[in-house]
Chains A and B, each alone.
Chain A
Amino acid sequence: MSNATLPAGARDPGYPTERENYLTNSSGILSWVFTLDHKRIGMMYLIGVVSAFAIGGLLALAIRLHLLKPDGLLFTGAEGNNIYNQVFTLHGAIMVFLFIIPSIPAALGNFLVPVMLGAKDVGFPRLNLSSFYLWVFGALFFVSALFSSGLDTGWTFYTPYSTTTDTSVILATLGAFILGFSSIFTGLNFIVTINTMRPPGMTWFKMPLFLWATYATSIIQVLATPVLGITLLLLIAERTMHIGIFDPEFNGDPVTYQHFFWFYSHPAVYIMILPAFGIISELISVHSHKHIFGYRFIAYSSIAIALLGFLVWGHHMFTAGMSSLTTIVFSALTFTVSVPSAIKVFNWLATMYKGSISLTTPMCYAISFIFLFTIGGLTGLFLGTLATDLHLHDTYFVVAHFHYVMVGGTLIAFLGGVFHWWPKMVGKLYNETHGRIASLLVFLGFNGTFLPQFVLGSRGMPRRYATYDPEFAFLHQLSTFGALLLGVGLLYAFIVLMVSLAKGRRAPANPWGGVTLEWQCTSPPPYYNFERPPVVGDPYDFHNLEWDAENERYVMTEPERKLVPESTPDEVPAHAGGQK
């Protein structure tokens, strides 16, 4: 390795040796099965959630193909409607419980949280491994539900339909129950890790925003998921013993179930989107080579969203027959949660202003995210407003809105994150041109799929319909063609990554010019992440970053040393007692 062109004082960890590299430091299948290394667990999660996404995605394509014709194209005959109902239920349940919720926190989060923090691992490595196996176990329950007698309740399991249908509700809810534990364990681990394992100098306000987002997410995971667990157990009890909580036939109230369910599932929406915000903050800053604008506002807004997210569950039930006062209070609370989200978008745009932007593949995903999430957020206003929600509730407008947030938001951020940290995770660079083309296809395909659905919903097309009135046919067909393009784009992106594994160039430690700690260890990182304790500074201070053109990488130069009058830092990390 030549250091000829390096500026004076540059330090770069270089390339890892075989022994140091976390992927190769031990070998054999058992070294993965019983690994306690958060990076390997993260990679196993990554493979798991991508597999789940592939299944959920194929089901989505089946749904869209079926809806090419008003009377249905794929699932015809006497059982056609039932099959369609099972397909959309499994699409929703798999995507929500097996993909979106664990995708960023469990796959990318597991890999990144300790490295970005400058720690050697998470607080409880064994709990971490068990959370992965719980995920696998929960996923098996879902698959067995699919192969026994299906599931046709919709992913929300609304009573009394779910207590009376003869499909495998119990298997699927047990699956979701187990997945809940997996989610709680992951959240718990991150809270403990971030609270106790920050190295000296890593104060709360020196943490990268991805960690703030993960921390906020973890709070929701730990507090809200138990409610889902209890609700699902009650549902099973209702189904088997008719204890009369939810089923009016036994003097229960079905709306109670909706309150319980959304008390978890609305905060869960923020489990899905908050980590995405974290990723986008990193991506925009790194690929604009500029300090993130309004660091504290972004950090606080994550916490605000996590807390306010607990107060708005009732907006899923505006048409269910709550009292007028309750309905209006929930509407008002819903509007408050949109403010912190808007703040983030403004901050990202301000970060790009006067930056030095590289239009890399991750940056392409980041700007698609801003475009799509803004649409997702703004269309949420139509649903938070009472008068318009009455018309739009349970129509395709809602379908389009939450896909703009969940797919246009979470999935795009996930893809951006995977492309951003791919060189770090596997030590290989991918082909940028193909990566960008794939991101463009995903963007166009996604809009083609879901923009027409806003119009469909406004015109009164209800969701979850296996067949529909012929006047909606044209918009449905547009949507289906968009979905096919989206499918091609996602497959393309997958191929780009797989080809990089076989043919990609070796990745330097810092290919993009990031300042957070993960770019200061080798790619892929060594087993214990850092050879020596990393130097912690402002995670968005790009002053000491230099471009090494010969080796196509960024290197850190020695920071300017200043004499500090007192040896006590402004903020003392919590593990040091938290006292000045």
Chain B
Amino acid sequence: MFPAIESLAMTFPTLLADKNADFWFPIQGSSFAEEVDWVYDLILYISLAFFVPMMVFMVWCLFKYIKARGTKAESQLSHHTTLELTWSIGPSVLLVWMFVQGSISFLDMRSPPEGSYDIGLQAFKWGWTMDYGNGTFHPELHIVKDEPTKLSMRSTDVIHSVFIPAFRVKKDVVPGRYNYMWFQPTIASEQISDEQLAKLKKQNEGTAWDYDKVHTIETEDGEKEVQVTPEGYTFFDLYCAEYCGTNHSEMQTVVVVHETQADLDAWIKANSSRGEVSMEEWGELLYGRRGCSGCHSVDGSKLVGPSFKDVYGSQHGLTTGENQLVDENYVRESILAPKAKVVAGYQPVMPSYKGQLSDDDIASIIAYLKSISANASSQPAAAEAEPEAESAE
């Protein structure tokens, strides 16, 4: 009868969001999710049980008692103590129930079990670094299904907040103290096949990997829509939920849940060191992974920090008024002690990466910077370079 409305109703759930979610909630990805959703539904139904009759009563009064102006009211009853006490005390009982249910679930969420898998989390403007131990750092959070996982969280600058909607957890990351959070994932991420991933990579060649992009892949059961990491894993979103400035809304990363510990170990091993790849390539990977790309562009545009395009071998004007040649030493210093020599026109906001990047990592980043700089080849040795008039922004 109304095809437009019907088709809208049909597509409504898909328009709303990811296919795995229902109307109100994201997918239930952790052991907490079911409990939290249960408490949510409890409150929702109690609220509706009050709201609907109250509004029906109000509208009924409107229809029943609308009178011509000047008509006297039927009653001038001014109070009824029993009735008033009833509706004061009655709902209070329900409130106590809500409070108790909410607090019980909350206490579960507060105490990490002994022997939880511990991952360090560092939040900074505007990105995340997970510390898997042994010098392995990665912006994505990789964990194991059914394994209680504890995050030990710290911030290098302002307050951030870790929010994983699928797990129903949230905790602020406050500078100057450690905050902890734990959860137990119940759904493992899927990994698309290598051929499919290769196909997607080919389609997206030349652009940065877009986690949010929905890809259509072919499976045995037909077509399927997925969002995947560059390694082909499906994932859960992890947001920053505490306002933290310019790129707050882009401070997102993903949670990948591995089926087994062995799977995760293999992933950690693969990401722990450079291995066989070239230094330039490794540097480029680190540029994307370790939060550099959030503040430093490679196409010359001005972000929070100076662009990396053609930066190596160029001259920076510093806030002190001096000029500084961008060479190996300056790059290394800027990574380890970023506030020592700040480029004019920028704020000293970069966190130090001391202890987080190995010498090989830093050398790889330098190699990468050289590879994308037109000035690099013309600057064989830093000491011999003449100061140039132009300075980077």
Contact = CB atoms under 8 A, between A and B. Distances in A.
B248 A466 contact: yes
Interface stretch (B116-124, B171-179, B259-267, B353-361): B171-179
Contact of A297 (B58, B84, B249): B84
B245 A165 contact: yes
Given A327-B106, A459-B26, A471-B17, A394 B161 contact: yes
Instruction: Name the prevailing secondary structure of the B interface residues.
Output: mixed
A291 B78 contact: yes
A79 B141 CA distance: 30
Contact of B99 (A295, A296, A335, A350): A335
Contact of A458 (B24, B51, B159, B301): B24
A358 B105 CA distance: 48
A308 interface: no
Given A248-B176, A460-B26, A289 B301 contact: no
Contacts of A391: 36, 40, 165, 168-170
B91 interface: yes
Interface in A377-399: 378-379, 381-382, 384-391, 393-395
A359 B177 CA distance: 57
A388 B43 contact: yes
Interface string A261-292: 00000000000000000000000000011111
B61 A357 contact: yes
A67 B185 CA distance: 32
A554 B62 CA distance: 22
Interface string A302-315: 00000000000000
A294 to B, nearest CB: 5
B2 interface: no
Interface in A31-90: 78, 81-82, 85
A382 B95 CA distance: 11
B241 A395 contact: yes
A254 B249 CA distance: 22
A504 B312 CA distance: 73
Interface stretch (B69-77, B196-204, B367-375): B69-77
B106 A381 contact: no
Contact of A339 (B25, B66, B88, B99): B88
Given A160-B158, A354-B65, A342 B91 contact: yes
A459 B21 contact: yes
Given A160-B158, A455-B16, A465-B248, A290 B168 contact: no
B57 interface: yes
A469 B237 contact: yes
Chain B interface bracket (under 10, 10 to 19, 20 to 34, 35 or more): 35 or more
B245 A371 contact: no
Contact of B240 (A462, A475, A554): A462
Interface in B332-352: 347, 349
Interface string B32-46: 100110011001101
Contact of B62 (A345, A357, A546): A357
A148 interface: no
Contacts of B66: 357-359
A85 B170 contact: no
A110 B101 CA distance: 45
Given A388-B39, A466-B249, A293 B98 contact: no
A164 B246 CA distance: 13
Interface string A433-465: 000000000000000000000010011101111
A469 B212 contact: yes
A543 B76 contact: yes
Contacts of A294: 78-80, 84
B303 A78 contact: yes
Contacts of B110: 324
B67 A356 contact: yes
A321 B75 contact: no
B73 A290 contact: yes
Interface in A503-557: 513, 540-543, 546-547, 549, 554
Given A81-B246, A290-B76, A470 B212 contact: yes
Contact of B96 (A335, A389, A554): A335
Given A81-B249, A319-B170, A343-B84, A386 B303 contact: no
A291 B80 CA distance: 12
A370 interface: yes
B392 to A, nearest CB: 16
Interface in A335-357: 335, 338-339, 342-343, 345-347, 349-350, 352-357
Interface of B: 15-18, 21, 23-26, 32, 35-36, 39-40, 43-44, 46-47, 50-51, 54-55, 57-58, 61-62, 65-67, 69-80, 83-84, 87-88, 91-92, 95-96, 98-99, 101-107, 109-110, 157-159, 161, 163, 165-166, 168-172, 174-177, 179, 212, 214, 237, 239-250, 252, 301-303, 347, 349
15 contacts: A161-B159, A164-B157, A248-B175, A292-B78, A296-B79, A335-B98, A335-B99, A352-B58, A387-B109, A394-B170, A395-B163, A458-B25, A459-B17, A462-B239, A546-B70
Given A350-B80, A352-B62, A469-B212, 5 more contacts: A254-B159, A321-B174, A386-B103, A459-B26, A469-B252
